Chains A and B, each alone.
Chain A
Amino acid sequence: MKRTLPMILTFLVGMIVILSEFIPHFPFSKINSTLESWYLIISGFAMLLGLISLVRVNSSKVASKEENWQYYLAGLISLFTMVIFGLLWGMQETAGLLGHGESIQNWLGKKPFDYLFDNAYLHLSATMFSLLAFFIASAAYRAFIIRSFESNLLMISAIIVILGRTSFGTMLTSWLPQRLYFLQMSYMTDFIMKYPNTAAQRAIMISAALGIFGSSLRIIIGIERSYLGSDK
């Protein structure tokens, strides 16, 4: 029953959503829109799961004084600071439990939550991602070696696109006469993107869509049950 009832529920919910696509009238439309609004509320709670897990994992590491426990403590302090600021004084236009915190805003310039967001979180997030630029340069140096025909195709295509998506690339072939327009860097780049790239991406898309179709159907009719977890 602990597995059967949820599976029946999955089937009913999935079938209602599918049927409402073909019968967009009452009652399917009403049930479908109700399910959609419930989905929003439940997925909000689902996100809380991840956060609670994070607090639990980090707390146990700090409590058992594992290696680098000081950093996990810093992480927990940041989390609780952000949450407390947000709950007490809100964020942007939204008021918190203590209102908008006008007195704090007078000396901080903005709400504490927004201050942390703009001066800490935003910079950390952007810098973490910008590290990738260095790693991709290093990867290009090491991995883009002439080996087989297929890897050469990859490299040539990458070089044309890397050059073509710059202002410099356009200048490189601007001297070519008009009748050889198809050899211009920008034209070659657009050609690669519009035809062979689109063909391959479309093939991936169609194959993936068939896979999603199959797995969604398996979930709805109960063949795929991994989302239920185990009974242990």
Chain B
Amino acid sequence: MVQFMQILGIWIGAFLTFSIFSFLYKDNPFYKLAEQVFVGLSAGYWLIYIIYYVIMPNLVSKLIEDFSANAILIIPALLGLMMLLRLIPKAQWVSRFPLAVVIGTSAGISLMRYMQSDLLNQVSATMINPLAAESLPDIIGSFLLIIGTICGIYFFYFSRKKEGIYALPSKAGIWFLMISFGASFGYTVMARVSLLIGRLEFILKDWLHLIN
């Protein structure tokens, strides 16, 4: 029976795979069904995970094990329930309090983390000695790194109109951005094709047994 259910499972997977692929020809009932089933399963999955991996271990289990020591957890539990009042229009204002805690915490964390990692560290990483590189291409590359970073940042400065000679670094910034977007496109192609390869591997290996 187990083996039958395993094979049935693979056939269900293959059916759903081709239902989604059928969209490439045109929109059809199989695709629409598969799409909505995906939405439903995804939402159900998230709910169960939140219950077993977030609410239970961080709140319910701790309160059950030692209520007096963890009584303070009543506060985030209440704040969480207040968050759900967002669904009732007349009581929506109550959800502002838990939102304030969440937004305040994440704003404070973002401010510090992005300032250190994405601003200060990145600026200091650009302050390199380009002539210290080992080979001529690397020396040219190091100059490109410094010039490209400065011109790119300059491109994003919109507080003043750039005319005449002031527009040149902005233009250079655009060139660097275009090269970067081209590289990103190349990597995106790789990523998307990899996803397709994964699906075809399931069809050819697990379903049709054409490859090992």
Q: How far apart are the CA atoms of A155 and B1 in the complex, in Å? A: 55
Q: How far apart are the CA atoms of A187 and B138 in the complex, in Å? A: 11
Q: Please tell me if the beta carbons of B189 and A220 are within 8 angstroms of each other in the complex.
A: no
Q: Please tell me if the beta carbons of A199 and B144 are within 8 angstroms of each other in the complex.
A: yes
Q: Please tell me if the beta carbons of B108 and A154 are within 8 angstroms of each other in the complex.
A: no
Q: Please tell me if the beta carbons of B112 and A17 are within 8 angstroms of each other in the complex.
A: yes
Q: Please tell me if the beta carbons of B195 and A130 are within 8 angstroms of each other in the complex.
A: yes
Q: Please tell me if the beta carbons of B152 and A199 are within 8 angstroms of each other in the complex.
A: yes
User: Contact partner of B187 among A116, A153, A165, CB < 8 A?
Assistant: A165
- Interface residue? B210 (CB, 8 A): no
User: Which residue among A12, A68, A82, A117 has the maximum number of chain B CB atoms within 10 Å of its CB?
Assistant: A82
Chain B residues with CB under 8 Å of A76's CB are 40
From 1 to 33 in chain B, residues with beta carbon under 8 angstroms from any chain A beta carbon are 1-2, 5-6, 8-10, 12-14, 16-17, 20-21, 23-24, 32-33
- Interface residue? A63 (CB, 8 A): no
- Interface residue? B41 (CB, 8 A): yes
From 175 to 198 in chain A, residues with beta carbon under 8 angstroms from any chain B beta carbon are 182, 187, 191-198
From 64 to 103 in chain B, residues with beta carbon under 8 angstroms from any chain A beta carbon are 72-73, 75-77, 79-81, 83-84, 86-87, 92-93, 96-103
Q: Please tell me if the beta carbons of A120 and B2 are within 8 angstroms of each other in the complex.
A: no
Q: Please tell me if the beta carbons of A52 and B87 are within 8 angstroms of each other in the complex.
A: yes
Q: How far apart are the CA atoms of A77 and B37 in the complex, in Å? A: 8
Chain A residues with CB under 8 Å of B109's CB are 17
Select from chain B the residue with minimum beta-carbon distance to A84. B44
Q: How far apart are the CA atoms of A96 and B189 in the complex, in Å? A: 42
Interface string of A194-232 (1 = CB under 8 A from B): 111111111111111110110011011000000111010
Q: How big is the A interface, by class?
A: 35 or more
Q: Please tell me if the beta carbons of A158 and B193 are within 8 angstroms of each other in the complex.
A: no
Q: Please tell me if the beta carbons of B10 and A47 are within 8 angstroms of each other in the complex.
A: no
Q: Please tell me if the beta carbons of A219 and B23 are within 8 angstroms of each other in the complex.
A: no
Chain B residues with CB under 8 Å of A124's CB are 16, 20, 34, 37-38, 41
Q: Is the interface of B mostly helix, strand, loop or mixed?
A: helix
Contact (A42, B101) CB under 8 Å given A52-B84, A78-B37, A109-B6: yes
Q: How far apart are the CA atoms of A113 and B176 in the complex, in Å? A: 49
From 146 to 162 in chain B, residues with beta carbon under 8 angstroms from any chain A beta carbon are 146-153, 155-156
Q: Please tell me if the beta carbons of A46 and B83 are within 8 angstroms of each other in the complex.
A: yes
Interface string of B169-184 (1 = CB under 8 A from A): 0000111111111111
Q: How far apart are the CA atoms of A38 and B33 in the complex, in Å? A: 39
- Interface residue? A141 (CB, 8 A): no
Q: How far apart are the CA atoms of A132 and B114 in the complex, in Å? A: 31
User: Contact partner of A78 among B23, B40, B102, CB < 8 A?
Assistant: B40
Select from chain B the residue with minimum beta-carbon distance to A73. B36
Q: How far apart are the CA atoms of A181 and B180 in the complex, in Å? A: 22
Q: Please tell me if the beta carbons of B37 and A136 are within 8 angstroms of each other in the complex.
A: no
Chain B residues with CB under 8 Å of A51's CB are 43, 46-47
- Interface residue? A167 (CB, 8 A): no
Q: Please tell me if the beta carbons of B38 and A125 are within 8 angstroms of each other in the complex.
A: yes
- Interface residue? A168 (CB, 8 A): no
Select from chain A the residue with minimum beta-carbon distance to B120. A209
User: Contact partner of B108 among A6, A17, A196, A210, CB < 8 A?
Assistant: A17
Q: Please tell me if the beta carbons of A154 and B178 are within 8 angstroms of each other in the complex.
A: yes
Ranked 9 nearest A-B pairs via Cβ: A203-B152, A199-B148, A82-B44, A17-B108, A161-B186, A157-B182, A78-B40, A13-B104, A45-B80
* Pairs A–B under 8 Å by Cβ, sample size 7: A14-B107, A17-B104, A46-B102, A106-B2, A120-B13, A125-B38, A157-B183
